[in-house]
Structure 1
Amino acid sequence: MTTLRMRRALALAGAAVALSVALTGCSALNSILAGGAGDADRDEETGQVTESANIDIFSLALGDCTVGSSTGLLEDIDVVPCSEPHDQEVFHEITMPDGDFSQDDVDAAALQCFEDAYTSFVGVAYADSILDASTITPTKDTWEQLDDRIVQCVIYDPEGQTTGSLAGSAR
């Protein structure tokens, strides 16, 4: 039985994904075609960000922590080491299969961010958590022109910034 919070979250997630990520992808596409920001300095072994940087949205990687919002028109995003105060963390990625773009398929993949992926990362189900999540998904343009197949799951505390990873926080 789905709780009211879960139904509301899924409905909001679908609407937010459709609007904000569509805008994100179009903006990111323009940035890449125009030569936008690069990538951050990363630890060679772990791949984790070692210094704050403004990076191209397509350089955002699993485990990255960001400052600011990941909604709206995104060409780039500010990343920081997760040991510093940050607003969001990329906690899971889903690689979509090749083929024709389907918004329904992208939306279905994005729902995984609120299911087992969330529970495995946080340690409690999304419906029982005080934390929240959103997604960054491919758009038709980024899918077709940049071979973008990655859905990124982003977790955050609606109360404000956190320090360190939210992995296993059971909150």
Structure 2
Amino acid sequence: MKRAASIVLPLLLLVGLTGCGPTAVRDDTGAVATAGTVDAFSVALGDCVSEGGAEASEEVVEVSQVEVVPCAESHDSEVYAVFDLADGEFPGDEAVMGSADEGCYGAFAEFVGAAYEDSTLDFGTYFPTEESWNGFDDREVVCLLVDPAGAVTGTLKGAAR
């Protein structure tokens, strides 16, 4: 069970952790209360993700575990949208990446409060691989907001930058 991850301009590597740390704890509202790892299929809208200092890369990487932290702590990205791709046969890696990027682009301005072209922020995606599409009926795309200047503390919702 793996999901692919990519970032759009500039391309950054989103690396999933391999279960090295404790499991994250969520509060009654579903928000991350204690930092830890979650299965890539358990990443949720509003989660803040710590990539552990991953270096920039154009490579697409499969992830199975993701490090999440309370958004009040320093983090590298924030889940700002989640949506499903259309059912059917796996359309191919390029089509999945294109649809993921298009959907995340479309949700960007509403969350950030500024158009992508006018923003200093960027986004990345977790999207289904052919293996997860066929083996686990995975159609979910996770959109992650990223500040290319580095880690942030707190939410970027409505940042308008």
Q: TM-score, normalised by structure 1?
A: 0.73
**Structure 1 residue 36: Cα displacement:** 10
Q: Tell me which of 46, 49, 54 is aligned to 1:63.
A: 46
Q: Tell me which of 48, 52, 68 is aligned to 1:79.
A: 68
- Give me the whole-angstrom Cα distance separating, in 2, the residues matched to 1:83 and 1:38: 19
The answer for the alignment partner of 1:48 in structure 2 is 31
Aligned CA distance change for structure 1 residues 73 and 100 (closer, same or farther; 3 Å): closer
Aligned CA distance change for structure 1 residues 161 and 138 (closer, same or farther; 3 Å): same
State whether structure 2 residue 142 is matched by structure 1 residue 152.
yes
Stretches of structure 1 that go unaligned for 5 or more consecutive residues are 1-11
**Structure 1 residue 72: Cα displacement:** 2.6
Stretches of structure 2 that go unaligned for 5 or more consecutive residues are 1-6, 55-59
Give the counterpart letter for 1:58 in structure 2: F
**Structure 1 residue 47: Cα displacement:** 1.1
- Give me the whole-angstrom Cα distance separating, in 2, the residues matched to 1:119 and 1:65: 18
State whether structure 2 residue 118 is matched by structure 1 residue 128.
yes
Q: When the two structures are aligned, how many residues end up with a matched partner?
A: 147
Q: Tell me the C-alpha RMSD between the 2 structures.
A: 3.1
**Structure 1 residue 65: Cα displacement:** 0.5
Identity score, percent: 40
Q: TM-score, normalised by structure 2?
A: 0.78
The answer for the alignment partner of 2:88 in structure 1 is 99
Q: Which has the higher helix share?
A: 1
Relative contact order, CA 8 A, sep 6+: which one is greater? Answer: 2
**Structure 1 residue 55: Cα displacement:** 1.5
C-alpha contact (below 8 Å) 2:90/2:130 kept by paired residues: yes
Larger radius of gyration: 1
